Structure 1
Amino acid sequence: MPAPTSSASSVSPSALPPLLRLRDETFDPANLGAYNLYLLASPARLQVAVADVERRKFVVLEDYQLPLGGVPALATQHDFLGLRGWNAVRLAVTGRAFTLLPAPLFRAGDEAATLRLHHTPTPTEVVRHTTHPGLELVNVFAADATLAEWLTATYGATGRLLHHTSALLAGLVHQRGAASPRRLYLNPGPQELTLVVLGQHLEYCNVFPCTTAEDVVYYTILVMQELALDPDQDDVTVWGELTPDSAVFSLLRTYVRNVHFGTRPGNVQYSYRLNDVFEYRYFDLFSLHFA
């Protein structure tokens, strides 16, 4: 579906044509201390959101194909990405190079050794970790070293690097509540599918490579079988890069009876400018507000 484009007259647009640009008229780049900046980076895309801290309201949503040189190159052509002075900056990276482990088993300094059981970091990667106090988990992950250095150089101590599964889990915990039933959650992204099973505790979280509708259905059914979920009985909630008339969703409904789209994280507001975007889109980006 073609992405709507809108920008407030008080801010100059990026030099690069966006896939999506929605900005509330109240957004004031001259007062960045009033806002949090949230970034979700995949190998070819950057999603951007800005939240007004005092009003707890999202006032900017943008989506870009990354140019050669990635996020740092895009920032040099963007009107506010390279600016300092934000209240907080959170940058999440996608990818399969992550592992979750119980917080009591984690020891600071063991990040590389822990991740090496699942992924061998390359010379161009750094290994970091973030904690999930609500789930008593630690997420150890690899990220592009150049991107991590850019984050620190641009935003200093204000910038925080994390894996996108941390944002997704934070959003799920925030939205579900304590008494929510055991459920499978799907979040398809660019060339990837994140699957989460959450009941009273986190039971499963993994990222699979996906390029076709058949891939999405295969991994969904595989995880349901492994965790004794019934495609005819159990609910499946979907966010992410889908449309109701897409081949992926149509095929998924053939094999899973109770599949439906999720909604945006609650307890925050969204500018009317975002009304043109499906509510199940950008869930992990918005969930950075709670990570």
Structure 2
Amino acid sequence: MSASSASAASASAVNASLRLRDETFDTTALGAYNLYLLASPTRLQLAVADVERNKFVALEEHPLPTGGLPALAAQHDCLGQRGWNAVRLAITGRAFTLLPAPLFRAGDEEATLRLHHFLTPFETVRHTAHPGLELVNVFAADAALASWLSTTHGASGRLLHHTSALLAGLVHQRGAASPRRLYLNPGPQELTLVVLGQSLEYCNVFPCSTAEDVVYYTILVMQELGLNPDEDEVTVWGELTPDSAIFSLLRTYVRQVRFGPRPGNVQYSYRLNDVFEYRYFDLFSLHFA
């Protein structure tokens, strides 16, 4: 390893709040791996999957410095390197809308999104198709971030909204005869709620800063969609622990609450064993998006 590479790796390790890597992960052979990224305004989650072995071999979490993801990539040993088999970058945020695929027309993205979000001069609009659900996700993205992805990773890079990753993971996880169910995914200052039956019935992202916010929106959606807090099961992934205030309060008002597992049909390095299995579900679900 060169002095500059060693310096970059050292900086990456110092800045990471989580850095787990399997010893088989070879940063000199990036073409053997897919890179999955989940970006919020303040941090980046990163996962690497070995394509041939269908196995996650790295998981990292980094606070974003001034300058955001491009600035972090400049310090990281492989984030900004070209040559990955595929790169998928999902962004958080409430500026998205889901349309039935037959109603979507290319070129109408901005007009569609304008029904509840006006683009700023620093944003661009993108869309992602969900063939399994016959939906199209139209969303706003930071223009500089989209430009970085295109410039750095070219045709191998794909930009998505994090709800697309979450939905892909849920569809992959559920069987054909799965019951109608509510899914929660708390994140940084946000809560994503999804109701899936034979088709997608509901998907929205709410601003949340307290455990009470999470419970309020959960009960609100259950009431609106005719779900029973005493009987219907609620599955939770995301940013909480079994002894957290959120989970404790949820169990007070919703009787059948359980944590969800990681996406199946893919392997995980033993290095990830110390991470709760319900964490990073939307990040890992980029494998199926």
TM-score (norm. length: structure 1): 0.96
2:164 to 153, 163, 166: 166
- Equivalent residue number for residue 19 of structure 2: 21
Task: Summarize the Cα distance change of 1:24–1:84 in structure 2 as closer, same or farther, 3 Å threshold.
Answer: same
| Cα contact 1:56–1:269 (8 A) shared by 2 | yes
**Deviations, residues 173-227 of structure 1 (Å, cap 9, x unaligned):** 0000211000000000000000000000000000000000000000000000000
CA distance in 1, matches of 2:74, 2:222: 44
Q: How many residues align?
A: 282
**Deviations, residues 39-75 of structure 1 (Å, cap 9, x unaligned):** 0000001000000000000000000111111000000
Shift of 1:19: 1.0
SS of structure 2 residue aligned to 1:12:
helix
Q: Does structure 1 residue 102 correspond to structure 2 residue 100? A: yes
Shift of 1:15: 5.6
| Cα contact 2:86–2:156 (8 A) shared by 1 | yes
| Cα contact 1:16–1:77 (8 A) shared by 2 | no
- Equivalent residue number for residue 196 of structure 1: 194
- Equivalent residue number for residue 66 of structure 1: 64
| Cα contact 2:57–2:268 (8 A) shared by 1 | yes
Equivalent pairs: percent with the same residue? 84
| Cα contact 2:13–2:19 (8 A) shared by 1 | no
CA distance in 1, matches of 2:185, 2:9: 32
CA distance in 1, matches of 2:162, 2:175: 21
| Cα contact 1:49–1:60 (8 A) shared by 2 | yes
SS of structure 2 residue aligned to 1:219:
helix
CA distance in 1, matches of 2:254, 2:239: 18
| Cα contact 2:169–2:282 (8 A) shared by 1 | yes
- Equivalent residue number for residue 246 of structure 1: 244
Unaligned 5+ segments in structure 2 are 1-5
CA distance in 2, matches of 1:156, 1:128: 16
1:50-65 superposed matches below 5 A: 50-65=48-63
CA distance in 2, matches of 1:16, 1:289: 27
- Equivalent residue number for residue 222 of structure 2: 224
Runs of 4+ in 1 over 3 A off after TM superposition: none
SS of structure 1 residue aligned to 2:115:
coil
CA distance in 1, matches of 2:199, 2:102: 15
Task: Summarize the Cα distance change of 1:233–1:15 in structure 2 as closer, same or farther, 3 Å threshold.
Answer: closer
CA distance in 2, matches of 1:34, 1:240: 28
SS of structure 1 residue aligned to 2:49:
strand
Q: Does structure 1 residue 36 correspond to structure 2 residue 34? A: yes
| Cα contact 2:9–2:76 (8 A) shared by 1 | no
| Cα contact 2:22–2:269 (8 A) shared by 1 | yes
- Equivalent residue number for residue 125 of structure 2: 127
What one-letter code is carried by the residue in structure 2 that aligns with 1:154? T
What one-letter code is carried by the residue in structure 2 that aligns with 1:233? E
Shift of 1:16: 4.2
| Cα contact 1:86–1:158 (8 A) shared by 2 | yes
1:267 to 260, 265, 268: 265
CA distance in 2, matches of 1:33, 1:42: 26
Unaligned 5+ segments in structure 1 are 1-8
1:12 to 4, 9, 15: 9
What one-letter code is carried by the residue in structure 1 that aligns with 2:242? P
SS of structure 2 residue aligned to 1:29:
coil
What is the CA RMSD across the aligned residues, in angstroms?
Answer: 1.1
CA distance in 2, matches of 1:51, 1:177: 24
Shift of 1:118: 1.4
- Equivalent residue number for residue 89 of structure 2: 91
Shift of 1:17: 2.0
CA distance in 2, matches of 1:25, 1:122: 43
Shift of 1:12: 3.4
**Deviations, residues 19-56 of structure 1 (Å, cap 9, x unaligned):** 10000000001100000000000000100000000000
- Equivalent residue number for residue 283 of structure 2: 285
- Equivalent residue number for residue 258 of structure 1: 256
- Equivalent residue number for residue 177 of structure 1: 175
| Cα contact 1:183–1:236 (8 A) shared by 2 | yes
SS of structure 1 residue aligned to 2:28:
helix
CA distance in 2, matches of 1:156, 1:262: 34
